[in-house]
């Protein structure tokens, strides 16, 4: 409960001054502690520990029975994305607000230029759309074409705008697919800039040819979607891009790993000492490919995303990858399209807008099926939902931590709370939920963003425009390690000594 004189009557979520969280079980990726957390008026954590004194005028929140964890970081979202002839229904305000309801306090979204579009033009467009965000955000930037201007703009983004990750789609031929030539130039440039490369690994040519074969046979329904993107197309692309990264000495992060084949290539590369990271979506851990064979076209189409949901055997492998550490982060690929938008592909599955929701439910389903099922400890849950993303993308310890000086982005978790997930009650701006009907145990009781309560036991207090753009420094410490090791790139691509911003500079916000 919120004690007398606190925020119980403030529906705006804009309380002034400091807040003391009293008597929580504090769980981070590194330690567990019974104690208090003092959130200062500047939005940062001032102190943690048992028996903290409340400065005069401090609001006090009784957190007995609750677990205090770093707010979730979703490293893969697509708010109001223009895609496949329409625009995702979730915008930066509604999406980050729904995240608060699920315990997520920061997103990493994507700037995706059209082929031939100047990177800085696309950058300005996305920054404008994101100003309405309720929670903090940052951006990966996709490389969808190549010339000297792209080389230049990558430098501007890395050095001036706080971009330390560049995305590459190996799928979507004749649209945003990055060819091998683009991968070569972009990976090399990213290493020069001290930025990590991220990759959607599916062989776009194979997908294109399989789609054409299915269409030629008149197989036009959603059941053809997974047939056009079998596990092999992801496995081949993962193997190829890992080889590219090894040759060029570039750290690489594979998004939405959905197959045992791709996971095996990641694990093998990590065993060789290569800097390879893997992300798994909550949906790929829980939903299987039977959804595409449902006789209800709208139900099946509402699950169309890429990579598609897979047979259950892949789910088992992905859980093992998460438990073993070969997969380090969990995400949603939150990209919402309402049923009337999905209907664009009523006569042709290749025209169904690809995307599903999940930002509100990621943490609850992962707690239920991870911690509740004995697959993850609470500390491992914090790592895969927050801290690992903060570390990989150089946001730590500002984000993903509970320590003095860190941002007061927190979730107070009630491990006994239960609910049944439903599109009728969720906050996401979409009329479908891939976890519909699932009972979860373990839910946010309170969510704090920059020290402000933005969600309180079912009451959403998100403030439009309160979110901050967070710059992420380049030259993560792993780049220094790669240089010292020699990084084993081809001799043609060995770089001079690492330079750039101090590698321990905390992420900055605007």
Instruction: Count Cα neighbours of 487 within 13 Å in the Cβ-side half-sphere.
Output: 30
> Mean per-residue pLDDT for 261-275?
97
CB 92 within 8 Å of CB 132: yes
Which H helix or E strand runs over 157? Answer: helix 148-160
Which band of pLDDT confidence, cut at 50, 70 and 90, is reported for residue 505? very low
pTM higher than 0.85: yes
Q: Name the pLDDT band for 37 (thresholds 50, 70, 90).
A: very high
Check if CATH label 3.20.20.140 holds for domain 72-392: yes
| 467 touches 135 (CB < 8 A) | yes
Q: What is the pLDDT of residue 257?
A: 98
The beta strands (E) that lie in 170-308 are given as 196-200, 252-254, 276-281
- The mean-pLDDT minimum among 318-322, 396-400, 504-508 falls in 504-508
Cα 94 to Cα 318: distance, rounded to the nearest angstrom: 30
> Number of helices and strands (H, E) in the chain?
16, 21
H or E segment to which residue 189 belongs: helix 180-193
Inform me whether the pLDDT recorded for 498 exceeds 70: no
- Please state the rounded mean pLDDT for residues 129-140: 98
Judged against a pLDDT cut of 90, whether residue 324 lies above it is answered with yes
Give which of 197, 164, 168, 163 is closest to 181, Cα–Cα: 168
pLDDT tens digit sequence for 168-209: 999 999 999 999 999 999 999 999 999 999 999 999 999 999
Q: Which helix (H) or strand (E) holds 36?
A: strand 32-39
Tell me the pLDDT band of 494, cut-offs 50, 70 and 90: low
pLDDT over 70 percentage in the chain: 92
Residue 30 has pLDDT above 50, yes or no: yes
8 A C-beta contact, residue 207 and residue 230: no
C-alpha 225/C-alpha 350 separation (Å) is 7
Residue 397, pLDDT > 70, answer yes
Say how many C-beta atoms besides its own lie within 10 A of residue 1's C-beta: 12
What lies within 8 Å, CB to CB, of 456 at 6+ separation is 2, 7, 445, 446
What are the tens digits of pLDDT across the range 442-483? 999 999 999 999 999 999 999 999 999 999 999 999 998 887
* 7: pLDDT strictly greater than 50: no
- Residue 491 Cα distances to 122, 402, 488, 494, 495, angstroms: 35, 42, 8, 5, 9
For residue 399, what is the DSSP state? S
93 pLDDT higher than 70: yes
């Amino acid at each position: 409960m919120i004690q007398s004189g606190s925020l119980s009557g403030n529906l705006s979520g804009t309380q002034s001054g400091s807040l003391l969280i009293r008597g929580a079980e504090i769980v981070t990726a590194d330690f567990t502690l019974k104690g208090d957390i003092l959130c200062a008026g500047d939005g940062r954590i001032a102190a943690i520990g048992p028996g903290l004194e409340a400065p005069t005028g401090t609001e006090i929140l009784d957190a007995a029975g609750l677990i205090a964890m770093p707010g979730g970081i979703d490293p893969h979202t697509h708010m109001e994305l223009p895609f496949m002839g329409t625009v995702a229904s979730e915008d930066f305000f509604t999406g980050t607000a729904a995240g608060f309801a699920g315990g997520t306090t920061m997103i990493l979204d994507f700037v995706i230029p059209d082929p031939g579009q100047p990177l800085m033009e696309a950058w300005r467009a996305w920054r404008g759309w994101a100003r309405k965000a309720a929670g903090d955000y940052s951006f990966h930037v996709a490389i969808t074409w190549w010339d000297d201007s792209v080389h230049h703009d990558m430098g501007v983004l890395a050095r001036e705008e706080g971009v330390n990750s560049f995305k590459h789609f190996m799928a979507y031929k004749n649209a945003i697919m990055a060819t091998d030539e683009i991968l070569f130039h972009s990976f090399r440039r990213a290493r020069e800039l001290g930025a990590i490369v991220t990759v959607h690994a599916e062989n776009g040519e194979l997908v294109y040819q399989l789609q054409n074969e299915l269409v030629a046979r008149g197989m036009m329904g959603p059941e053809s979607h997974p047939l056009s993107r079998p596990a092999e197309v992801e496995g081949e692309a993962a193997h190829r891009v890992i080889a590219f990264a090894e040759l060029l000495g570039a750290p690489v992060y594979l998004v939405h790993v959905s197959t045992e084949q791709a996971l095996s290539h990641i694990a093998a590369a990590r065993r060789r000492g290569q800097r390879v990271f893997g992300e798994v979506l909550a949906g790929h851990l829980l939903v299987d490919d039977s959804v595409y064979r449902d006789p209800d076209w709208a139900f099946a189409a509402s699950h169309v995303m890429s990579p598609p949901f897979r047979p259950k055997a892949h789910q088992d492998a992905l859980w093992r990858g998460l438990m073993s550490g070969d997969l380090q982060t969990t995400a949603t690929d939150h990209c919402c399209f309402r049923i009337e938008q999905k209907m664009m592909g009523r006569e042709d599955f290749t025209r169904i807008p690809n995307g599903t929701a999940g930002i509100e439910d990621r943490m609850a389903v992962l707690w239920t099926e991870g911690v509740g099922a004995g697959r993850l400890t609470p500390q491992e849950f914090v790592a895969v939902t927050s801290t690992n993303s903060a570390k990989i993308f150089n946001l730590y310890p500002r984000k993903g931590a509970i320590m003095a000086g860190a941002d007061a982005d927190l979730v107070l978790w009630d491990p006994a709370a239960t609910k049944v997930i439903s599109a009728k009650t969720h906050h996401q701006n979409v009329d479908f939920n891939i976890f519909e009907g699932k009972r979860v145990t373990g839910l946010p009781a309170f969510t704090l963003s920059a020290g402000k309560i933005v969600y309180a036991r079912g009451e959403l207090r998100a403030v439009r425009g309160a979110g901050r753009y967070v710059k992420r420094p380049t030259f993560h410490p792993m780049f220094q390690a790669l240089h010292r090791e020699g990084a084993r790139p081809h001799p043609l691509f060995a770089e001079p000594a690492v330079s750039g911003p101090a590698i321990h500079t905390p992420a900055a916000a605007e």
